[in-house]
Amino acid sequence: MKNKTALVMGGGGFIGSHMVNSLKEEGFYVRAVDLNQPLFTNSSADDFIIYDLTKQENFDEVISIDGSPFDEIYQFAADMGGAGYIFTGDFDADIMSSSCLININFLNFQKNLEELKGEKSKIFYSSSACIYPEYNQLEPDNPNCKEETAYPADPDSEYGWEKLFSERLYLSFLRNYKMNIHIARYHNIFGPEGAYDNGKEKAPAAICRKVANAQQIDEIEVWGDGEQTRSFLYIDECLEATKKLIRSGFTGPVNIGSEEMVTINKLVEIVSKISGKDISIKHIDGPLGVRGRNSDNELINKELSWNYKMSLEEGLQKTYDWINGQLLKTQ
């Protein structure tokens, strides 16, 4: 029996490169497509194509294997980063136009391929908790991120608006062309081998880096008052839930995240404890995003019988150890 095949778009990024490894472990033949190879490791993909998915030239060859659709397709490719990238406003045009072009190109070429061959791929699209309305996330202690609260729409960033548009785009192709679509709204995925110092890092990586670079007794900077809340999901659990979703009969959109909500100040406290250092916080001005955000896992629990298992501290321990190791290499 021939190996199952998978295409990972954005396979050089943090989540995408981990998904490539996970699929390889399952015995898939995997093609990864991205502008760049993974930052920190060599890709384990059978075939890694350096390609700009905003272009159309040879797109049909990139998304087909021996002229046919892949069994599973994971669409992670996007122009994105942490708060320091998304909320400045300086990159809004690139964030919106690049990601929209990727999704429009992919869906049109994929639709044509499926109609030509009479075969369908299972397709996963990674949306984001950033689609949720700002008005439901003003209180740090009580954010509302149930899936049905997405409308009336009012995301707090152009990144969120683009993700919401793209959700609707994928769902329209499902309705009109009967494509096999599955959509998740990711809530702050973190772990080893993600950006930690290039301006696109998320809060866990940024805090781990700052603490690792600090002296035994020291002070680190945190944007805002640090009382803004978030939940963070470890990468391995994200992959597990994503594969469960794409292989199910459930379309979504559905949250994939942790419900262990913490303040950013608490995040610093946990990482300080892991490091064994005595770290205090200097609060400074900076881009913040919404005041509170937490995953609501009622729907994914009901539809897929999935929930996270790893504590935030356990995931941060693994992440801190990796980032600290990277920093030691450069000293």
> Residue 295: is its pLDDT beyond 60?
yes
> Residue 287: is its pLDDT beyond 70?
yes
**pLDDT single digits (tens) 300-316:** 999 999 999 999 999 99
* Contact in structure between 110 and 57 (CB atoms under 8 Å): no
> Residue 274: is its pLDDT beyond 60?
yes
What's the CA gap between 93 and 188, in Å, rounded?
23
User: Is 159 one of the catalytic residues?
Assistant: yes
Out of 159, 196, 308, 320, pick the active-site residue.
159
DSSP tag of 49: E
Reported as a pLDDT band with limits 50, 70 and 90, residue 86 is low
If one compares 248 and 201, the residue with the highest pLDDT of the two is: 248
If one compares 201 and 112, the residue with the highest pLDDT of the two is: 112
Q: Residue 289: its pLDDT value, please?
A: 79
> Residue 1: is its pLDDT beyond 60?
no
Report the relative pairing of strands 29-34 and 5-9 from DSSP bridges: parallel
**pLDDT single digits (tens) 135-191:** 999 999 999 999 999 999 999 899 999 999 999 999 999 999 999 999 999 999 999
Task: Give all domains of the chain, ordered by start, each with its CATH number.
Answer: 5-190+232-256 (3.40.50.720), 203-230+260-295+311-330 (3.90.25.10)
Question: What's the half-sphere exposure (Cβ side, CA atoms, 13 Å) at 321?
Answer: 6
Query: Which residues pair with residue 6 across a beta bridge?
Result: 30, 72
Spell out the residues 6+ positions from residue 89 whose beta carbon is closer than 8 angstroms to its own. 158
**Residue written as token pair 């997405």:** 150
Spell out the residues 6+ positions from residue 82 whose beta carbon is closer than 8 angstroms to its own. 195, 199, 200, 201, 202, 203, 205, 206
**pLDDT single digits (tens) 10-40:** 999 999 999 999 999 999 999 999 999 999 9
Reported as a pLDDT band with limits 50, 70 and 90, residue 89 is confident
Q: Residue 84: its pLDDT value, please?
A: 61
Mean pLDDT of 63-74: 97
Mean pLDDT of 54-59: 94
Reported as a pLDDT band with limits 50, 70 and 90, residue 87 is low
Reported as a pLDDT band with limits 50, 70 and 90, residue 330 is confident
Say what the pTM is.
Answer: 0.95
